[in-house]
């Protein structure tokens, strides 16, 4: 491996992350220090990630697994520092389009590049479990009906699925739509 700096990260890794993210060197070293303090082996296991998401209020295993699978870019069953930084970069420093693309990827359960109604129903079901006191909806059925309506309006080419562009347009034009698909709701 390359030469390690005093913080344990190789110069090559650090330089690559500086180029691939919007984090500067000091930010990366700070994140790395915290990451290694919490994960001395340099990886987060799925089980540990599930505990972390529960601490953050995401008590639904399905949703936690969706997030884990999208953090674990190489599908090796662990989240390493590079994978963590990639997602943190999107969440913390990414553009609106970057964030919407990440959300779309998480919600595209079968990975075919489109969102089908069934996928959105599964997501909404999971989110309703997490945020059952949603500020927009009194019942799960009301939430599902709203997503149904939004899906019909967003599906511009009437092919029964949403492309990323259709999803992005709807999300940008209707903040309630995106909020209804978010597990992080102010109750």
What is the per-residue burial (b if ≥16 Cβ within 10 Å, else e) of 108-126? bbeeeebbbbebbebbbeb
Counting beta carbons within 10 angstroms of the beta carbon of residue 98, is it exposed (0 to 12), middle (13 to 18) or buried (19 or more)? Answer: middle
Model pTM above 0.75: yes
User: pLDDT at position 180, please?
Assistant: 65
Question: Domain tally for the chain?
Answer: 2
Question: Strand pairing partners for 10?
Answer: 4
In the chain, the percentage of residues whose pLDDT exceeds 70 is 87
Alpha carbon 58 to chain centroid distance? 12
pLDDT at 177 exceeding the cut of 90: no
| 132 confidence band (pLDDT: 50, 70, 90) | low
- Is pLDDT at 109 greater than 90 in this prediction? yes
| Range(s) of the domain holding residue 45 | 11-93
What does the pLDDT read at residue 122?
Answer: 86
Tell me what pLDDT residue 104 has: 93
pLDDT at residue 134, as a whole number: 55
Mean per-residue pLDDT, 3-10: 58
Residues 115, 85 share a domain: no
Residue 3 lies in a domain: no
The verdict on 52 and 85 lying in the same domain is yes
Output the domain CATH number for residue 77. 1.10.238.10
Burial category of 105 from C-beta neighbours within 10 Å (exposed 0-12, middle 13-18, buried 19 and up): middle
Task: Give 46-98 pLDDT, tens digit per residue.
Answer: 988 888 888 777 777 888 888 899 999 999 999 999 999 999 999 889 888 99
- Given 66, 93, 120, the domain boundary residue is 93
């Amino acid at each position: 491996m390359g030469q390690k700096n005093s913080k344990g990260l190789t110069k090559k890794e650090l330089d690559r992350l500086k180029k691939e993210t919007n984090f500067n060197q000091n930010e990366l070293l700070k994140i790395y220090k915290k990451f290694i303090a919490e994960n001395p082996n340099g990886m987060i296991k799925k089980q540990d990630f599930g505990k972390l998401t529960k601490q953050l209020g995401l008590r639904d295993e399905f949703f936690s697994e969706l997030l884990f699978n999208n953090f674990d870019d190489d599908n090796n069953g662990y989240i390493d520092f590079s994978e963590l930084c990639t997602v943190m970069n999107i969440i913390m420093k990414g553009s609106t389009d970057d964030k919407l693309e990440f959300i779309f990827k998480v919600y595209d359960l079968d990975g075919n590049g489109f969102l089908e109604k069934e996928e959105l129903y599964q997501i909404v079901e999971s989110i309703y479990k997490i945020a059952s006191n949603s500020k927009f909806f009194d019942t799960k059925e009301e939430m599902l009906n709203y997503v149904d309506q939004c899906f019909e309006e967003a599906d511009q080419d009437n092919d029964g699925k949403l492309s990323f562009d259709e999803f992005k347009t709807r999300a940008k034009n209707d903040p309630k739509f995106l909020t209804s698909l978010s597990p992080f709701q102010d109750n």
